[in-house]
Structure 1
Amino acid sequence: MSKKQLSITILCMAFAAMVACKAKPSDTQIQAKVSEQLSTMPEVTADVKNGVVTLAGNVADDATKASAEATVKSTEGVKSVVNNIMVTPAAPPQAPAADTATTATTNPADDALRTGVANISKDFPGADVKVDAGVITVTGQLSAPKWKTLKQALDALHPKKVDASGLNVK
């Protein structure tokens, strides 16, 4: 190999090494960029680990969920996106309080709340979710991220209270 060929080879190798060593954004830098991009969607949270962004929260429609994911995917340094955002339509208005002497054994407001809870809780095996008198009671066992997502979805239903005292969060 001639000196000229050797010089060109070394130059190419040095250039390739420089390109390969280009600093990639850290998780902290990615988190800052993603948080800024999602600032118009306060109901959506994002966590970054090794360049993988996990989205959580509750939105009113599929378009908002897809928009959040598309926005984050375009961020420099993002390797992939895990979209755990839940679509939770707005809760129906609660029925006015009725006289307890004329109230039937089932409360229509609880029925609407039960329907919302059933739609949400099906995605959370390990959690048993019940509704009584406008209070949602959660028992069982969930991981901390799953509980956070479930809690946000349940809060969006506007119950009187969410009682998780019987829930084991691991």
Structure 2
Amino acid sequence: MKTSKFLMSMVVAATLFCVGCKPNDAAIQAAIQAKEAAGITVAVTKGNVTLTGVVDDEAIKTTAGEIAKAEKGVKTVTNNLIIKPTDLPVVIADDAVLIKNVADATKDFPTVKAAVKDGVVLLTGEIKKASLITLMQHLSALKPKKIDNKLTVK
């Protein structure tokens, strides 16, 4: 009987010891944050990690998730990192190319006159309301700097 009580108390003590050894959320957060790249915020609730912030590319995002998953005491990782968009240069067509392509785009609209100067397409004349959208789509696809619409819509 004494042996049973002794063994039972040892089991309870061992269980409490193991629970006490488990890292708390603040310790997990500090350990992960120390290993992560700048700009990554780490939040931990009951062993569930959430990563937020902006990173340069997919590789950094993936690595951040792997670092968090590898930390002792982590149950789940929610990777809410956003990849910084790259600023692509705006492409504006050359005037010589634009003049030719604008002439092709407006040939089906005989009442429309188009002129090109410094990447800007100037439209004058008349057009039916139903045709205006089609014309504007064709001209926008040519990548002018601007379309100056002075058309009269009928």
TM-score (norm 2): 0.49
TM-score (norm 1): 0.46
Larger Rg: 2
Flag the structure with higher helix content: 2
